Chains A and B, each alone.
Chain A
């Protein structure tokens, strides 16, 4: 999309108009959760957080792939880094994620591990070809947004006869996590700002249960200030009429049915499985695993990796923050024992984590 068009979605006068309308229509506190970490950052970066009516409580949900990567998964990839004949390939986000004993990939590199930051999973094909005597292991972390590209990479690797590429598959899917959040009666959410990138793949249909089963509203939303404000305003209007709906406010990118081709590619290679989410625990059907016919690429099988629930990090409230039960600055470690330089929990380490966003952008 052209930048000129994008600028329209940042129009200060239009934003002000919607902000004023929201202010006048709010008769009580409403709690909205943005599922996606990119939304969290967009809300802070644009300064929206300082402009939203006080009665809107803004919660950051479990939509940052780094934040929800379970500690057992982190320890698994850190254990692999530094193994003989293994080159880890990863997106940059995971480089600072702490495992147990303060380990992370950056420190592993300093200790001699071979870790390559890639910009696309397809870069691993070249890496594998250039290092035929090594095993290239790509850390497959992310939601429906990244899974199809990784599936495509595996297909291409098979076509090209590449045998030294493995995927450490920790993919998760968003709708089951939202179902789990809504089923938890301790969690009080009035509506969801639904992720733009994930929805571009899965469409709107998989979220219908939010209104039908739980009577809450949700709007697929883009990342510009006007996108976010329009979605919030829409949900306030529905709320005032006593209605609940799921709709798509990001039609310039997200089709009602998403991207069927990407979904087909994704499910050709992966199948649903139960998955452990950091802070949320085991959520049935919320993960993706490599199908048996693609197991030649499966790093978990190759290295016998199992993912298990372990003891929670002492004092860390990332779990409550991901559920929208606590705000980042309500965590006793926030800004003290836990900072971006020395993150204790995943919400502080990821650039899209809610704690990192609070620490980085929040003025008061």
Chain B
């Protein structure tokens, strides 16, 4: 193969075949994908959760991950948030002509490792190569499908007054890492993306707890925006305690320099769990026993005070609104 991705590789001809067999099957291959049929034949039963997401992250490699593993983690997590066991994923690659082949290999390899770790099979895929400038290096779409193992399924509109709000760990790590890497900012202490597949921990959680109302991963828009979505859908108020929200000091520092709020930064390896208050301690115990949930915290409670709103109880004991993110966060002048 050429050392760069050429338009030929998306032609559907021999070059495409070589790319698929020498690269994609090498790292993503399994019984189903290896057949190279027009569609995958899957063995699923009961209620099914399905989710799709497209990944366009810039830069494509960042401390703690890359676009390949991220594309698996993001979709696996979305399926798992429905109380489902993710089983299969698909992947669609849109590659810019000229992308170094070594970069593509690194991404596909990383995707294969992430899928194996998450216990999902990549069962069908697609590759397109577009002319230089038509996309930014590489875009990946993944669709995931899984079997739901709890009834009722956790849902954003199921939060109730009295519910506890838990977060599985520190917030803002991914968002600040990507922004810092993209802009070439050198933070005093290095930060790293939290990108990870949460499905094994989530399955354990929903199996061992009698009731879980909401599971959500606070990706784009961060913790604040996700909680706003939940309170609006459920018509309850979330009272968050600022002191209890885990934020790494280096993330807090980086955000302070840039004028950003870590509560609005994306996370790719964290989830919010809303459940009846009496199960909070048990949930924290399960979460903290897993490396991905070791920093889990009880950060707030659902109340009936200001329905549809998120209220932050600050370190000083004052209260203020924690609204939804409007557009993207932009660094300030001074």
Question: A interface vs B, CB < 8 Å?
Answer: 3, 10, 12, 15-16, 38, 44-51, 65-66, 91-93, 95-96, 106, 117, 119, 141-143, 145-146, 197, 225, 340-341, 351-352, 359-363
Contact A46–B317 (Cβ < 8 Å): no
* B39-81 with Cβ < 8 A to chain A: none
Contact A91–B332 (Cβ < 8 Å): yes
Q: Which residues of A contact B327 (CB under 8 A)?
A: 96, 106, 340-341
**Mask of B83-123 contacts with A, CB within 8 angstroms, 1/0:** 00000000000000000000000000000000000000000
Q: Which residues of B contact A119 (CB under 8 A)?
A: 183, 185, 258, 331
Contact B317–A51 (Cβ < 8 Å): yes
- Indicate which residue in A16, A50, A146, A360 contacts B319 across the interface (CB closer than 8 Å): A50
Q: Is B259 an interface residue (CB 8 A)?
A: yes
Q: For the complex, what is the distance from the CA of A95 to the CA of B329, rounded to whole Å?
A: 11
Q: Which residues of B contact A3 (CB under 8 A)?
A: 249, 252-253
Which residue of chain A lies nearest to B323 when distances are taken between CB atoms in the complex?
A360
Q: For the complex, what is the distance from the CA of A46 to the CA of B320, rounded to whole Å?
A: 8
8 closest cross-chain pairs (CB), A and B? A47-B318, A92-B330, A47-B314, A340-B326, A50-B318, A361-B320, A145-B334, A92-B331
Q: Which residues of B contact A363 (CB under 8 A)?
A: 306, 311, 319-321
In the complex where A3-B252, A146-B333, A351-B332 touch, is A12 in contact with B311 (Cβ < 8 A)?
Answer: no
CB distance from A203 to the nearest CB of B (A): 17
Q: Which residues of A contact B316 (CB under 8 A)?
A: 10, 12, 15-16, 46-48, 51, 225
Q: Which residues of B contact A225 (CB under 8 A)?
A: 316
User: How many residues on the B side are at the interface (Cβ–Cβ under 8 A)?
Assistant: 27
Contact B331–A117 (Cβ < 8 Å): yes
- Indicate which residue in A10, A352, A362 contacts B315 across the interface (CB closer than 8 Å): A10
- Indicate which residue in B320, B326, B333, B334 contacts A45 across the interface (CB closer than 8 Å): B320
* B265-286 with Cβ < 8 A to chain A: none
In the complex where A47-B314, A119-B258 touch, is A362 in contact with B320 (Cβ < 8 A)?
Answer: yes
CB distance from B131 to the nearest CB of A (A): 19
Q: 16 other contacts beyond A117-B330, A119-B185, A360-B321, with CB at 8 A cut-off?
A: A16-B316, A45-B314, A46-B316, A47-B313, A47-B314, A47-B315, A47-B316, A48-B316, A51-B317, A51-B318, A65-B333, A65-B334, A91-B331, A119-B258, A362-B321, A363-B320
Which residue of chain A lies nearest to B253 when distances are taken between CB atoms in the complex?
A3
Contact A95–B330 (Cβ < 8 Å): yes
CB distance from B158 to the nearest CB of A (A): 25
CB distance from A323 to the nearest CB of B (A): 21
Q: Is B312 an interface residue (CB 8 A)?
A: yes
Contact B334–A143 (Cβ < 8 Å): yes
Q: Which residues of B contact A50 (CB under 8 A)?
A: 318-320
CB distance from B264 to the nearest CB of A (A): 11
Q: For the complex, what is the distance from the CA of A47 to the CA of B334, rounded to whole Å?
A: 22
Contact B311–A352 (Cβ < 8 Å): no
Q: For the complex, what is the distance from the CA of A73 to the CA of B50, rounded to whole Å?
A: 50
Contact B333–A91 (Cβ < 8 Å): yes
**Mask of B210-242 contacts with A, CB within 8 angstroms, 1/0:** 000000000000000000000000000000000
Q: Which residues of A contact B313 (CB under 8 A)?
A: 47
Q: For the complex, what is the distance from the CA of A188 to the CA of B44, rounded to whole Å?
A: 72
Q: For the complex, what is the distance from the CA of A49 to the CA of B331, rounded to whole Å?
A: 24
Contact A93–B306 (Cβ < 8 Å): no
Q: For the complex, what is the distance from the CA of A145 to the CA of B183, rounded to whole Å?
A: 22
Q: For the complex, what is the distance from the CA of A117 to the CA of B259, rounded to whole Å?
A: 14
Q: For the complex, what is the distance from the CA of A106 to the CA of B317, rounded to whole Å?
A: 38
Which residue of chain B lies nearest to A225 when distances are taken between CB atoms in the complex?
B316
27 inter-chain pairs at a CB distance below 8 angstroms, sorted by A residue, are A3-B249, A10-B315, A16-B317, A44-B320, A45-B314, A46-B318, A47-B314, A47-B315, A47-B316, A49-B320, A50-B320, A65-B333, A92-B332, A93-B330, A93-B332, A96-B327, A117-B331, A119-B185, A197-B334, A351-B259, A352-B332, A360-B323, A361-B320, A362-B321, A363-B306, A363-B319, A363-B320
Which residue of chain A lies nearest to B259 when distances are taken between CB atoms in the complex?
A351
**Mask of B197-220 contacts with A, CB within 8 angstroms, 1/0:** 000000000000000000000000
Q: Which residues of B contact A141 (CB under 8 A)?
A: 333
Q: For the complex, what is the distance from the CA of A93 to the CA of B249, rounded to whole Å?
A: 25
Q: Which residues of B contact A361 (CB under 8 A)?
A: 320-321, 323
Q: Which residues of A contact B259 (CB under 8 A)?
A: 351
Q: For the complex, what is the distance from the CA of A65 to the CA of B302, rounded to whole Å?
A: 38
CB distance from A335 to the nearest CB of B (A): 12
CB distance from B306 to the nearest CB of A (A): 7
Contact B320–A47 (Cβ < 8 Å): yes
Contact A49–B315 (Cβ < 8 Å): no
Q: For the complex, what is the distance from the CA of A143 to the CA of B330, rounded to whole Å?
A: 19
CB distance from B331 to the nearest CB of A (A): 4
CB distance from B138 to the nearest CB of A (A): 22
Q: For the complex, what is the distance from the CA of A3 to the CA of B253, rounded to whole Å?
A: 8
Contact A66–B183 (Cβ < 8 Å): no
Q: For the complex, what is the distance from the CA of A142 to the CA of B321, rounded to whole Å?
A: 28
Q: Which residues of B contact A352 (CB under 8 A)?
A: 332
Contact B333–A66 (Cβ < 8 Å): yes
Q: For the complex, what is the distance from the CA of A66 to the CA of B185, rounded to whole Å?
A: 24
CB distance from B241 to the nearest CB of A (A): 11
CB distance from A147 to the nearest CB of B (A): 11
